[in-house]
């Protein structure tokens, strides 16, 4: 593939005593959005980030790399209709991309654009989340059974998929290529597959569905054996989700309590649950260790849809209904500070802000469709 470069669309939006805010992309007909919040679009040790866009390939997403300081962009993949690129992640240094190309799992060397085919989805199963372990030696892949139902706008199909899907496969594959090993056959819809950033054999996954209905959301797994165990054993009062690994290898989770399904829709309501949370339950976020034992809890009496943590877990960035907020966990109770308004529509997954800290904690990346189409925005913290 001959490299394709694009001029900067970056422009400064505002500066306050606390932040400088930039719009990084501005395309009249093709949206852009960053990697899922369990991944990190920022490149570790470099002033670049990766994102998705349909520019030049309408209806088909490709991966792009941006020089954050200049805003100049380069297309990294070259996928054309009718083919589809899905579930993409990368190594922290940005040297490897891992993604599904239709039903085939591919690992790309970004410098050479060479691709290695690792796995073809078995018949009757749909490609799902993938992850690269911290040494770069192993790849994990998750595939749910095909039930003829996709997640749609405003979480259409979210609850029904949970009931329909009864099989999920987990594979461990050498990154250099070789025999893929089936390590787990699960009996529930799976999601959020991710390797620990510090333990090369530890994986995490979740059972998907409305949080208030799923009996046990988070599981940890030894990728070598498939042995798995619950992380934060839930009770009937718990509604848990949006788990991710912190930089030191612990597990972050969000517990909103009874009556919360973990969703937000374009009418600012939940998609599935309608009953209010009972009095006396204060939502909180927490941390758990590799054994699944809770090591810390932080009361969170205000509502955010997603959280991401700084390196030392002293700060969280969250997206509430209309604003991005910074939450200082060193305060008791945690202190909330508004950073900016995002005004996204919440009309679908690509419009979710999913704010993410850079590796040095000095920047925050998020997505919004306030302009009518999804674009990337950057906050520089002072």
- Per residue in 117-128, pLDDT (tens digit) is 999 999 999 999
Q: How far, rounded to the nearest angstrom, does the alpha carbon of residue 220 sit from its chain's CA centroid? A: 17
SS3 state of residue 163: helix
DSSP 79-98: --TT--EEEEEE-TTSSEEE
Angle ∠(315,244,179) on CA atoms, nearest 5: 150
Domain ranges of the chain: 128-301
- The CATH topology of domain 128-301 is Methylamine Dehydrogenase; Chain H (2.130.10)
Q: What's the pLDDT at 237?
A: 92
Task: Give every residue of the chain whose pLDDT is below 70, as ranges.
Answer: 276
Q: Report CA-CA distances (Å) from 58 to 29, 32, 81, 283, 310.
A: 9, 12, 8, 41, 35
Token output for 111: 């410098």
pLDDT at 150: 85
How many degrees, rounded to 5, is the angle at CA 195 between CA 194 and CA 198?
140
Residues 6+ apart with CB under 8 A from 112: none
SS3 161: helix
Cβ distance 379 to 14 under 8 Å? no
Question: Among residues 317, 333, 371, 322, which one has the least CA distance to residue 18?
Answer: 317
């Amino acid at each position: 593939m001959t490299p394709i470069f694009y001029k900067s669309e970056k422009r400064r939006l505002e500066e306050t005593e606390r932040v400088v805010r930039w719009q990084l992309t501005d395309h009249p007909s093709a949206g852009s959005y960053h990697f899922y919040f369990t991944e990190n679009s920022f490149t570790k040790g470099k002033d670049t980030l990766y994102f998705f866009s349909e520019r030049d390939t309408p209806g088909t997403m490709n991966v792009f790399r941006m020089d954050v300081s200049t805003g100049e962009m380069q297309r990294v993949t070259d996928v054309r209709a009718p083919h589809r690129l899905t579930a993409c992640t990368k190594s922290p240094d940005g040297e490897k991309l891992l993604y599904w190309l239709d039903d085939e799992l591919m690992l790309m060397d970004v410098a050479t654009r060479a691709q290695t085919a690792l796995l073809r989805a078995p018949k009757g199963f749909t490609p799902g989340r993938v992850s690269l372990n911290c040494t770069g030696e192993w790849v994990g892949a998750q595939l749910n059974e095909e039930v003829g139902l996709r997640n749609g706008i405003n979480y259409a199909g979210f609850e029904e998929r949970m009931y329909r899907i009864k099989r999920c496969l987990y594979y461990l594959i050498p990154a250099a290529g070789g025999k893929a090993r089936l390590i787990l056959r699960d009996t529930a819809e799976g999601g959020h597959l991710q390797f620990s950033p510090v333990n090369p054999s530890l994986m995490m996954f979740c059972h998907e569905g409305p949080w208030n209905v799923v009996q046990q959301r988070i599981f940890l797994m030894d990728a070598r054996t498939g042995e798995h165990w619950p992380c934060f054993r839930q009770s009937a009062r718990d509604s848990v989700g949006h788990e991710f690994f912190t930089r030191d290898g612990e597990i972050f989770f969000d517990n909103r309590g009874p009556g919360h399904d973990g969703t937000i829709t374009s009418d600012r309501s939940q998609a599935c649950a309608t009953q209010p949370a009972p009095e006396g339950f204060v939502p909180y976020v927490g941390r758990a260790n590799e054994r699944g034992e809770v090591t810390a809890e932080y009361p969170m009496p205000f509502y955010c849809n997603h959280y991401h943590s700084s390196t030392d877990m002293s700060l969280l960035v969250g997206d509430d209904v209309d604003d991005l907020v910074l939450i200082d966990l060193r305060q008791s109770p945690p202190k909330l500070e508004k950073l900016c308004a995002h005004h996204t529509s919440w009309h679908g997954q690509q419009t979710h802000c999913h704010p993410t800290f850079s590796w040095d904690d000095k920047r925050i990346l998020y997505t919004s469709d306030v302009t009518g189409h999804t674009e990337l925005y950057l906050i520089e913290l002072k």
